[in-house]
Structure 1
Amino acid sequence: MFSAHAQTAGRDSVLRSNTLSLEEAISVARRNNYLYLEALSNRQRADASVRTAFGQLLPQADASVTALRQQGGRQIFNGGTFGATSDVNQSQYNIGIGYRINSATLLAPKVQRANREAVEADITASGENLRTTVVQQYLTVLQAQATAELQDTLVSAARSQVVLAQARALVGSGTALDISRAEVVLGQAQVQQLQARNSIEIEKLKLFQQMGIPKTGDVTLTTPFTISPVSLSLSELLSAARRENPVVLALRSRERVANLNVRREKGEYTPTLSLNTGLSGYTYAYTNSNFPVEQARAQTIAGKADCIRTEEVRAALGLTNRLAACNSITFSDDMAATLRKQNGSFPFDFTKSPKSISATLSIPLFDGFAREQRVQEAQITRSNLQNQVRATEIQLTSGITSAYLTLSTAQQTVALQEQNSAKARQELKLMQDRYRAGQATFVDLSESRAAYERAESERINAIYDYHKAFALLENAVGRPLR
């Protein structure tokens, strides 16, 4: 019953076949109905929340790189002079690793997984609601078609009555009034036929609206429906609904989420362990590469002069001295080259900083009763959900029982209406035969025809009311029953 023409990946722009089964209509609606697609998008959000909750159990890391250029000059601080006469380039990198854990962090994955289960149940419920809506509208189209077919039959019968009235008038057994009445009946039947055909197109447009695609061309509905009683008893249906109804399952999942949220909020009273470590390095370089060389040369010359003065005093006093060593102090070109090389570390020749690691255990003491407020709010939410679950279960029992009784009544109504229609059909045939034989008037024939039309219309309505009641029972249970 599935048409392969409509099986496309992703969303459908139009229906690619001129036939439409019920299964295909439901499948197309699941791919295109915006309300159902909106419910499906919640699954991605729930999956992301679960992933984030598990991610909080892992260490967090960040990295940064900093570059700085400082203008040369001298600054005076507390009477001292600091600074340099050359601009300075600096760079620094830092890789930080931190880990933070408490009882709330440990409970977060359970909370989000329970929330994801609730979202899945919501999606199932949305799918069942969509299925029920499509089935109901599909049945409405079939009902409109059956009504139109009845009107076609009545138009044909009305034409035959016009011909018969004309024939009776020719032989003298009828009157011109009978012909006029027959023509009026034919005109009324044609009006009802036109309205019935228009109703089919309107109901098809509504069906395609539920499917989420535009209607293009004429489409034939191909799925037949038969009257078949429910194979399960009322107690079995109630038991199945308590286990499988997606609305109840979603509320129960949210009740579990609320229980876990209470535990998580109470976990804010427990200590939090934080661990931090990382790697870092830096560079420091003068823009004028000769500046550190000249600075070192000046320091060497000043140190040599101080050394000579000190040793000359020792020599004058007749003490041992290192005057020869002081005279040999020089600032070589190799030393200058080494300083220039060291000054070229900017920007990426980093000098590593000493490693460190820290551990902190923090215990919450008082936060202005905000923590207590969150616990109370979580407990209230849990209590509300518990009450909502109980109310929904009671409503579920009432709804299924009502739908089951309605379906049983509809099934009996179909049987009675079929009997009424059969009797009305026999009466109409008998009256037509009597009218041909001149034993009945046109008024008698019109009354029999109206009675048959009412009985047949009520039979059609009873049949499709039964199928719609069956669909409502399936929706109340939360799954298909046939």
Structure 2
Amino acid sequence: MIKQEMISLAEISRDQSGSRSALNSMPIPKMSAKKDPSAVWLSNTKISLSVLALIAISVTTPLCAQQISTRSLSLDEALEIARENNPNFLQSRNDESLSNWDVRQAYAALLPSASIGSGVSWQGPGEQQFGSLTLGDLGFGNQPSYYFSNYNIGLNYSIDWRTIKGPAQAKAQRGVTLAQIDLAEASLISTVTNAYVEILRQQEALRLAEQQLENSEFNLRLAQGQLEVGSVTPIDVGQAEVQVGRSEVTVLRTRNMLATSKMRLLQQLGLRVNEDVALSTEFTLSEPTWNLETLTNMSLDRNPTLRARRRSKEVADIGISSARSSYFPSLSISTGWSGFTREASNTDFQVVQARAQVASSVAQCVQTNNLYSRLADPLPPFDCSRFAFTDEQRQGIIDGNRAFPFNFQGSPPSVSLRLQVPIFQGLSRERNLQAARLQRDDMVQQVREQELALEADLSIGTANVQTAYESALLEERNRELADQQLTLARERYQLGAITFVELVDAQTLLAQAERDRIAAVFAYHDAVTSLEVLVGTSLRN
């Protein structure tokens, strides 16, 4: 009674999980016979443990499912998420902004440069030395402290052949950067697609492992039924239980590999791994109908690696022209304006100097008049009263000292023009020009090498896809034959025509055929993905 209830519970559980119901509905003959007490006790014990395990799984599975959110994800959605979140790709895409600024900088180099500057300074009181003399020796002792300020405005323009070719070279280099970004995007698409396909591969592997577990459990029930009628020994039941245990281990490992592949996909998408994904894109097995010539033309136009090398060749071409700039003259023009202020901390020193100058003028006037009076024919004397230090002069000195910091006194403007013609520079120009030419020749060979590699890889890739497609069809036929052999083996085992080992061999043959079929199908998808990388576009639609 317990055994019959266990069989019904197992069948209900497998039907709820979406597994095959054919195995559960397959009739197993039950015949009355004397039972081995030890075998019955062992069987009942295992059934009880299985019931408890089934109840525990049915209770804990919903709880685990509530903790991890599941999101539906198509391949196109995965690629779009990866473009927006993958750290490595975002680093490559940031180079585009820098290359745009390089182009702007190259154009800005054709414009004149301007600069403006200003400054202030202070000089303490005391005597200054001029060679072996000081201001005191010259009659200018007790100098006060001074405040100085100045400004300058400069305008410079330089032009040569390298500067003229700068924008073209910057644009070509930007093209290289954009091609490298396309190459990084192609690599990202390939990586995400492979990770997506890997999840599908592990899902098929899990389905196969669960199917093998069902087959092992059915064989166990079959062996137990044969044991009840005395057709087999307990050894067959033990072997069947071992097969069930091995199948459970396979299911456990396959589930772990599936979880790992999902985490790897989320990693490539730039997302956290605390969520589950349900893939919605189906990869069908379809006969390849592509034309090799068409694929070759597409790859020569779209292959990111080839495009990057062609862009590099354009940069090398401009590099030769830039290297010739050392033979051409360069022109530079500069002009500038400046001004300064100087203000003493006090004007007593300047007032004393002004008074001394007035006194000196009066003394010189008096002496001149004295000389004029001693002449045989005296000349009219000068009016020495006109030399006098007035308050207006004192106030003028004070007002004139008030210059710091913005009452500038302008300096004379200046303009300079310079033309430089290179004559001999130690063969460095010739060496640099030759190096630029060799670099261009290297890039030409690299482009040719990539074109030849594309033609060879495309021929190999299309052959691999065709071979994988035909292999998948053959493996599907092999699986159907192995499935028929397993059905026949079960019928013969029920009749006692073969041993349990032969039944297990038939099941193993079906499992291997299933694994080979899955491997062949996903080998086809891997080959298509590799071909898409070469062509530079999707081929699945």
Fold shared by both chains (TM-score > 0.5): yes
Q: Distance in 2 between matches of 1:384 and 1:313?
A: 97
SS in 2 for 1:73: coil
In the alignment, the residues of structure 2 paired with residue 341 and residue 293 of structure 1 have an alpha-carbon distance, to the nearest angstrom, of 12
- TM-score for both structures, normalised by structure 2: 0.81
Shift of 1:285: 2.1
2:92 alignment partner AA: A
The aligned counterpart of 1:125 is 183
Q: Distance in 2 between matches of 1:130 and 1:334?
A: 86
The residue number in structure 2 matching 1:115 is: 173
Map of 1:73 onto structure 2: 127
CA distance in 2, matches of 1:16, 1:254: 47
In structure 1, C-alpha distance between the alignment counterparts of 2:366 and 2:439, rounded to whole Å: 87
Give the structure 1 partner of residue 95 of structure 2. 42
Measured in 2, the distance between the counterparts of 1:356 and 1:230 equals 77
2:179 and 2:307 in contact (8 A); partners too: yes
Deviations 1:387-436 (A, max 9, x none): 21111111122122211111111111111111211222223223333433
Q: Which moved more, 1:221-230 or 1:254-263?
A: 221-230
Which residue, out of 362, 382, 385, partners 1:323? 382
Deviation at 1:235, TM superposition (A): 0.8
Residue in 2 aligned with 1:457?
515
Question: For 1:268, what is the secondary structure of its paired residue?
Answer: helix
Q: 1:75 to 1:162 in 2, by over 3 A?
A: closer
SS of 1:218's equivalent in the other structure is: strand
Question: More displaced, 124-133 or 15-24?
Answer: 15-24
| TM, length-normalised to structure 1 | 0.90
Give the C-alpha shift of residue 459 in structure 1: 0.9
Mapped partners of 1:17, 1:280: distance in 2: 72
Question: 1:266, CA displacement in angstroms?
Answer: 0.8
Counterpart Cα distance in 1 of 2:354 and 2:102: 60
- State the partner residue of 1:24: 77
Give the AA of the match of 2:101: A
Distance (whole Å) between structure 1 residues aligned to residue 219 and residue 274 of structure 2: 38
Q: Which residue of 1 aligns with 2:440?
A: 382
- 1:145-170 per-residue CA deviation (whole Å, 9 max, x = no partner) reads 11111111111121112112211222
Letter of the 2:218 partner, please give it.
Answer: S
- Alignment of 1:184 with 2:242, yes or no, is yes
Alpha-carbon deviation of 1:479? 2.3
Render the CA deviation track for 1:108-134: whole Å, top value 9, x for unaligned. Answer: 111111011101100110111111111
Measure how far apart 1:185 and its partner are: 2.0
Alpha-carbon distance in structure 2 between the residues aligned to 1:33 and 1:467: 24
Separation of aligned partners in 2, 1:16 and 1:276: 69
Name the CA distance, whole Å, in 2 between partners of 1:341 and 1:405.
Answer: 98
CA–CA distance in 2 between the matches of 1:429 and 1:217? 40
CA distance in 2, matches of 1:378, 1:362: 24
Paired amino acid for 1:181:
Q
1:273/1:322 Cα in 2 relative to 1: closer, same or farther (>3 Å)?
Answer: farther
Tell me how far 1:284 sits from its aligned partner.
Answer: 1.9
Of 413, 429, 442, the match for 1:371:
429
Q: Match for 2:195: what amino acid?
A: Q
2:150 & 2:69 partners in 1: Cα distance? 63
Counterpart of 1:236 in structure 2 is 294
Kept after mapping to 1: 8 A contact 2:70/2:276: no
2:261, 2:98 → 1: CA distance?
36
**Could you say if the C-alpha distance between residues 287 and 21 of structure 1 is closer, same or farther in structure 2, counting changes exceeding 3 Å?**
same
Q: Which amino acid aligns with 2:120?
A: A
Aligned partners of 1:228 and 1:125: how far apart in 2? 28
For the pair 1:404 / 2:462, whether they are aligned, the reply is yes
Distance 1:272 1:166, change over 3 A: same
Q: Displacement, 1:230?
A: 4.6
Aligned residues: 467
Aligned residue number for residue 424 of structure 1: 482
User: In 2 relative to 1, CA 362–230 (structure 1 residues): closer, same or farther, beyond 3 Å?
Assistant: farther
Q: Which moved more, 1:311-320 or 1:412-421?
A: 311-320
The answer to whether the 8 Å contact 2:262/2:276 transfers is: no
Aligned with 1:56 (options 109, 114, 130): 109
Report the Cα distance in structure 2 between the residues aligned to 1:277 and 1:229, rounded to whole angstroms: 75
Q: CA contact under 8 A between 1:125 and 1:478: conserved in structure 2?
A: no
Q: Which runs of 5+ in 1 are unaligned?
A: 1-14
Q: Deviations over 1:317-358 (max 9, x none)?
A: 34554613x322222211211221111102221111122221
Secondary structure in structure 1 of the residue aligned to 2:231? coil
Amino acid of the structure 2 residue aligned with 1:244: R
Residues 151, 16 of structure 1: alpha-carbon distance in 2 compared, 3 angstrom cutoff? closer
Q: 1:39 to 1:229 in 2, by over 3 A?
A: farther
Backbone CA RMSD of aligned residues: 2.3
- The worse-fitting range, judged by mean Cα deviation, of 458-467 and 192-201 is 192-201
Structure 1 residues 106, 319: CA separation in 2 closer, same or farther (over 3 Å shift)? farther
Instruction: Specify the structure having the higher radius of gyration (Cα).
Output: 2
Once residues 89 and 58 of structure 1 are traced to their aligned partners in structure 2, the CA distance between those partners, rounded to angstroms, is: 37
Matches within 5 A, 1:206-355: 206-230=264-288, 232-317=290-375, 318=377, 320-321=379-380, 323-324=382-383, 326-355=384-413
CA offset at residue 79 of structure 1?
6.6
Q: Which runs of 5+ in 2 are unaligned?
A: 1-67
- Between 1:363-372 and 1:70-79, the stretch displaced more is 70-79
Look up the match of 1:98. Answer: 156
1:7 is aligned to: none
**Distance of 1:336 and 1:272 partners within structure 2:** 56
Alpha carbons 1:43, 1:120 under 8 Å: kept: yes
* Structure 1 residues 79 and 209: CA distance shift in structure 2, 3 A: closer
| 8 A contact 1:290–1:340 mirrored in 2 | no
Q: In the TM superposition, what is the alpha-carbon distance from 1:61 to its structure 2 partner?
A: 1.7
C-alpha separation between the residues in 2 aligned to 1:74 and 1:180?
114
Q: Distance in 2 between matches of 1:355 and 1:295?
A: 32
- Change over 3 Å in CA distance of 1:475–1:16 after alignment to 2: farther
Q: Is the 8 A contact 1:230 1:481 kept in 2?
A: no
Residue identity opposite 2:76 in structure 1: E
Q: Say which SS state the counterpart of residue 69 (structure 1) adopts.
A: strand
Change over 3 Å in CA distance of 1:316–1:228 after alignment to 2 = farther
